[in-house]
Copies of this chain bind each other. A is one copy, B any other.
Amino acid sequence: MHAPNSVKSLPLGLSSRAARTQEAPISFLIATALRNPGLINLAAGLVDPSTLPVEAVREVAQRVLSDSKRAREALQYDTTIGLTGLRQEALSRIEKLEGVSAGQMSLTPDNIVITTGSQQALFLVGDVLIDPGDIVIAAAPSYFVFTGALDSLGATILSVPMDEDGMDVAAAGRLLERVEAEGRLARVKFIYCTSYFQNPTGLTLSAERRPKLLEIAKRFSKDHRILILEDAAYRELRYDGPAHRSIKSFDSENRYTVLSQTFSKPFSPGLKLGYSAMPPDLLDAVLHEKGSHDFGSSSLTQHLALEAMRDGHYDRQVQRLCGSYRAKRDTVLASLQRFMPRRADLHWTHPGGGLYVWLTLPKSIDTSRSEKMFETCVDRGVLYVPGDYCFQADAAGKKPMNHIRLSFGQVDAAKIEPGIQILSGVVRELLENAA
């Protein structure tokens, strides 16, 4: 009926979305990290295995599973929006972090959805807002997993520069003016902003810029609302400097902002849970979409997260992580200071929290995956994230190629200095060879 050979070569009929979707760099990096435990891994966004809350989770698991009524709830399906108690605790957590009451943000637990990590929330918000060709405004650089997801949704990402105070909000305003002048304002769906200790730079949006960004979103909301998607994954990993209110906390009517937080970074990635507060009409759309994706995240891990929040394990773990990561950040900064060549065009960020330091090298050094810098580092036992992952190509198809994201998340504290010494040695050699 058919020739086996021709059948063998028959392609799949992939969707346009699949055709746009590339392998997420983080999947490659996580897999590489798991396969090569010998590398000094300054790349992967994994957390520090030595600080994972093993005893805490064992204890809450024992408690949840020893109470047979509770255990049955945890082993049954829950709702698409997520466990009621966990949404209440999540909102209390947000209130505590803001120093602003839920009422002042027009938030109730029914404005909060529990997702499979905060990544799922970011994706769902993108999915219910973006048609191919729609515009998202994002900082340059930005978190590459989410910009990859935006690419797969067909979004056009317009970049706004950053400085020490985070996203340049005035530049975002000028960009929107230009987009409006071009008649494309109707295509702008949201502004993506990692407002605390950003991945990849470690930079934080300043206090002054927070209400301003909200004002800009409102000002350019003409025929529809332009939202702010505030990614606060690293918020609780704060080592020094002020505890800023979120952009969301200024959105008193809960109309313009989504605040996404996670259990992965401040507690444990293995629970794979995040929570997001958002406007009710957006939440409806997100829930309908999540109903199609999975109709609810794991109820077992939701019960564990709830117990950990209720009994103080969560707070203690955050404190413990802050102490541990603070020391690792200090080691990164001291090692860079000690080993990197001193030049005006070689510098790095000094983040007050999070898991990343952003290193800017002289423009003569190309840090990308196929170039000498990256290959030499891997040969000598160090892995980093090439900075070009985090940028959008400009009109000429160019990206900045001289940046590196250094993560001090997973890496053993004792390996940081030797890792940065190797990295610095490669930089020094390349600069000397070029000279």
A-to-B contact residues, CB < 8 Å: 1-2, 7-8, 10-18, 21-24, 26-27, 30-31, 34, 45-47, 49-50, 52-54, 57-58, 61-62, 65-66, 68, 71-72, 74-80, 116-117, 119-120, 123, 127-131, 134, 145, 148-149, 152, 186, 189, 215, 218-219, 221, 223-225, 227, 253, 255, 264, 268-273, 279, 281-282, 284-285, 287-289, 291-301, 303-304
Q: Is the interface of A mostly helix, strand, loop or mixed?
A: helix
29 A–B contacts from the bound complex (CB under 8 Å): A1-B219, A7-B221, A8-B253, A8-B255, A11-B281, A12-B224, A12-B225, A12-B282, A15-B130, A15-B134, A18-B285, A21-B285, A21-B289, A24-B292, A27-B291, A27-B295, A30-B79, A30-B295, A30-B296, A50-B72, A54-B68, A54-B72, A61-B62, A75-B268, A77-B270, A116-B293, A145-B295, A149-B292, A152-B288
CA distance A45 to B279 in the complex (A): 30
A53 contacts which chain B residues (CB < 8 A)?
75
CA distance A296 to B317 in the complex (A): 23
> In the assembled complex, how far is the CB of residue A8 from the closest CB belonging to chain B, in whole angstroms?
7
Q: By the criterion CB–CB under 8 Å, are A127 and B15 in contact?
A: yes
Q: By the criterion CB–CB under 8 Å, are B46 and A269 in contact?
A: no
Q: By the criterion CB–CB under 8 Å, are B292 and A123 in contact?
A: yes
CA distance A175 to B27 in the complex (A): 41
Interface contacts beyond A15-B131, A61-B62, A116-B293: sample of 9 additional A-B pairs, CB < 8 Å, sorted by A:
A18-B127, A18-B285, A30-B77, A52-B71, A54-B68, A58-B62, A75-B268, A120-B294, A123-B292
The 8 Å CB contact of A57, one of B30, B65, B120, B224, is B65
Q: By the criterion CB–CB under 8 Å, are A270 and B74 in contact?
A: yes
Q: By the criterion CB–CB under 8 Å, are A49 and B72 in contact?
A: yes
> In the assembled complex, how far is the CB of residue A114 from the closest CB belonging to chain B, in whole angstroms?
12
Q: By the criterion CB–CB under 8 Å, are A77 and B269 in contact?
A: yes
> Which among A58, A215, A253, A282 has the highest number of chain B CB atoms within 10 Å?
A58
Q: By the criterion CB–CB under 8 Å, are B52 and A76 in contact?
A: yes
